[in-house]
Structure 1
Amino acid sequence: MERYAGRVALVTGANSGIGAATARALLEKGLKVVGLDKRIDMMKDIARELKDAPGALYPLQCDVSSEESILCALKWIKENLGGIDVLINSAGLCGDSSLTAGQTAEWKRILDVNVLGLSICTREAVQSMLDRGIDDGFIIHICSISGHIIPSDPNYSMYHASKHAVKTLLEGLRKDLVARNSKIRCGEISPGLVKTPLFNTLKKYSAEGSENMRMPMMEPEDIANAIIYMLSQPPHVQVYDIILRPTGDLFR
């Protein structure tokens, strides 16, 4: 990780869950972390808590479903920090929405963040690296075990579809970078169930005393540790996908 100390990492969805845990981990490794989220209150708490960490945290309010909002944030990064060296696409949404009765607005909300927002952030980060001649940058998508399996619950088919798209977009990105003769690396982390606020919005998991909430789950820090592992490999090694599942997981 020493090669990234003092350099700039952009983390989307950094106000809570996996994004917040990732921001913490990168700060402790000495990176300048720009955290994007619609809310930044918890990031401000992290900045105060880790004020003596070797890195620095820059919370930026941003709606990842809006290209205009993303471009505004990237402009700030360019003008104030020079550009992006590492991108962690952590922002993600899920929702209760079947394919036969779901609302178009809910489908669009999921796809705008999980697929289009991720793609816009990736495009802009790669261009930032290429424009500055950065050849050791890294793009990491937070995918999901849902990107590797067929949906078991029809209410979450659109979410599964978005994560299958993330997996496909990663391979497209890898081939694009190879065709450019770039040494910029990319990879994805595909976790199973993780204790994050994402579940608070889902009927299946949010009901008080829900049996589903007693299923084995990982902590956000487990995913952040996997990100650090991926980043810490030598330049000739590209860890492309890490699948993490909680011990005893029966999720299908």
Structure 2
Amino acid sequence: MKRWSGRVAVVTGASAGIGAAIAEELVKKGLKVVGLARRVERVEENAKLLRSEPGKLHPLRCDVSKESNVKEAFKWVKSNLGVVDILVNNAGVCDFNNLTDGPPEKWRNIIDINVLGLSMCTREAIQSMREKAVDDGHIININRYSISPGAVKTEIAEASGVPKEILEQYKDNPIMEAKDIADSVMYVLGTPPHVQMSLGLSHVRKYDDDGDFKKL
């Protein structure tokens, strides 16, 4: 990770959960991290907690479903920090609905954020990298191509409207922490420049001293 120290990373959906954990680990590795989020106040609070770390977290309000927001955000990065070296496309939503009931506006919101938002951020990051011919830049997509985690303990299930009785059924199942996914991102970034990989993470198991499975 030493080669990334002092360089610029953009993390979308950085206000909570996986995005916040990734931003934190990158700051600890000495990077200048731009945390994009609609709830920028949360990123600002995290930035205060990370003041003593080698890197710095720069909170920036951005709704990745809006092209004007995305363009303004990357324009700010260019003007204040320089070329983007790493983009972590983490922003995403889900909703507890199905094809038989809809409604279409819920589907449209998912597509706007999870697909179009990712695409627009990727476009801006690549354009930034090309400006100064960055030859080792990384674009990491969470739960799409690069890192595809299974169940992770975040706010997304409650926010998507999953009924409490369903959540209760799975409360004792093995489930990953946001830090586990952040560690996976650090591993990917820590590999040599010629290495490209896709990680699929189902869950993390922990065992006691006797080797017996212990629930998280």
TM-score, normalization: structure 2? 0.91
Name 2:174's counterpart in structure 1: 216
Where 1:204 maps in the other structure, the secondary structure is: coil
Structure 1 residue 204 and structure 2 residue 162: aligned? yes
Give, in whole Å, the separation in 2 of the partners of 1:88 and 1:210: 31
Name 1:244's counterpart in structure 2: 201
Give, in whole Å, the separation in 2 of the partners of 1:220 and 1:206: 21
Give, in whole Å, the separation in 1 of the partners of 2:171 and 2:106: 23
Where 2:152 maps in the other structure, the secondary structure is: coil
Give, in whole Å, the separation in 1 of the partners of 2:139 and 2:45: 26
With over 3 angstroms needed to count, the CA separation of the structure-2 counterparts of 1:141 and 1:207, relative to structure 1, is same
Q: Which one-letter code corresponds to 2:198 in the other structure?
A: D
Name 1:75's counterpart in structure 2: 75
* Bigger helix share: 1
Q: 1:212 offset after TM fit, Å?
A: 2.2
Where 1:213 maps in the other structure, the secondary structure is: coil
After TM superposition, list the pairs within 5 Å mapping 1:167-186 onto structure 2: 167=145
Give, in whole Å, the separation in 2 of the partners of 1:74 and 1:212: 39
Name 1:100's counterpart in structure 2: 100
Where 1:140 maps in the other structure, the secondary structure is: strand
Q: Which runs of 5+ in 1 are unaligned?
A: 144-165, 168-187
Name 2:148's counterpart in structure 1: 190
After TM superposition, list the pairs within 5 Å mapping 1:140-159 onto structure 2: 140-143=140-143
The alignment-based identity, stated in percent, is 48
Answer with 198-207 or 124-133: which moved more.
198-207
Aligned 8 A contact 1:205 1:212 in 2: no
Q: 1:209 offset after TM fit, Å?
A: 6.9
Aligned 8 A contact 2:37 2:43 in 1: no
Q: 1:42 offset after TM fit, Å?
A: 2.0
Q: 1:207 offset after TM fit, Å?
A: 4.3
Give, in whole Å, the separation in 2 of the partners of 1:49 and 1:214: 31
After TM superposition, list the pairs within 5 Å mapping 1:20-99 onto structure 2: 20-99=20-99
CA-to-partner distance for each residue in 1:193-218, whole Å, 9 max, x for gaps? Answer: 00011011244354497112332210
TM-score, normalization: structure 1? 0.78
Aligned 8 A contact 1:9 1:31 in 2: yes
Give, in whole Å, the separation in 2 of the partners of 1:203 and 1:237: 39
Give, in whole Å, the separation in 2 of the partners of 1:106 and 1:204: 14
Give, in whole Å, the separation in 2 of the partners of 1:206 and 1:10: 34
Give, in whole Å, the separation in 2 of the partners of 1:111 and 1:6: 34
Give, in whole Å, the separation in 2 of the partners of 1:97 and 1:87: 30
Q: Which one-letter code corresponds to 1:69 in the other structure?
A: N
Q: 1:82 offset after TM fit, Å?
A: 1.2
Give, in whole Å, the separation in 2 of the partners of 1:27 and 1:79: 20
CA-to-partner distance for each residue in 1:47-71, whole Å, 9 max, x for gaps? Answer: 1111010001100000011111111
Give, in whole Å, the separation in 2 of the partners of 1:106 and 1:213: 26
